[in-house]
Amino acid sequence: MHPIITTEQRSQLQENGYFILENLFSTEDMAELTLRIETFQKRHEEELVKKGGTEGISRADEISFTAFLAEQDEAIAAFAKRSEFVAITTQLLGADIDLYWNQSVFKAPEGNKEFPWHQDDGYTPVSPSPYLTLWLALNDATTENGCISVLPGSHKSGLAPHEQTPIGLNCYPSDAPNQGVPVPLKAGSIAVFLSLTFHKSGVNRSNGYRKAYILQYSQSPLKNMRTGEIIANRIPLTRNSVAV
Ligand SMILES: O=C(O)CCC(=O)C(=O)O
């Protein structure tokens, strides 16, 4: 079973709400996965343009969130079920795990907006909470191209109020003196954080796309706290700590 989550990483998650797993996957793995993802991301971009440039929190030529990738592609599903994810999630969450949500997030060069501070639970509050968000860098994420930042300790006060803005939900001022910790990541590295940890991503000032694949794993079953319903049609990862 790999990787083994160290005592230090566990206490970072508990205290700060996040930790980093460096170089979990090879650059070859990331190149292959990116190719598969780009088929869907490009199609989504084309649809965005046809729809006038925006849909939900995606904006053509700025930022696109392309969801349900593992549900549509066998190779991406196989990636989301890799033993690395079994190891991480069973150690941190428990024995029965599902892939709750998965999406790519591509930030276009010279986009001029941050993606605002939020908790993932702010978009859909669920129980049990928190679940785990694994933010995987498909290419190098840097402070120049809009890597994420996290606010250490912000997970400790539960679900914060979020206000709707034109570019996404927001739970923390973008002009507060404490703007958290930037988390640059090499391709193939992961930021592991809790669904209650405040995070945002920066402006992409580079001349290339910043590409990420976000995998969110939760205990099974998972309830939508707005509707009270069990969230159906998720991809099972483990039962009794064994991959399924
Ligand atoms: O990758 C990004 O730019 C931000 C994505 C994010 O925070 C999210 O999807 O929750």
Each residue of 141-158: pLDDT tens digit? Answer: 999 999 999 999 999 999
Q: How far is the CA of 240 from the centre of ligand 1 (A)?
A: 31
Question: What whole-number distance in Å separates Cα of residue 214 and Cα of residue 53?
Answer: 23
Cβ atoms of residues 121 and 132 within 8 Å: no
Domain for residue 228, yes or no? yes
Q: Whose CA is nearest to atom 8 of ligand 1?
A: 120
The residue type of 207 is N
The residue type of 244 is V
Quick one: tokens of 226?
């707005």
Question: What whole-number distance in Å separates Cα of residue 204 and Cα of residue 112?
Answer: 7
Strand partners, 64: 106
* Residues spanned by the domain of 227: 7-153+181-243
Domain for residue 95, yes or no? yes
E strand or H helix at 164: strand 163-165
Note the pLDDT tens digit of each residue in 54-106: 999 999 999 999 999 999 999 999 999 999 999 999 999 999 999 999 999 99
> Which residues have any ligand 1 atom within 6 Å of their CB?
105, 107, 115, 120, 148, 199, 201, 212, 214
Domain for residue 203, yes or no? yes
Number of structural domains the chain divides into: 1
pTM: 0.98
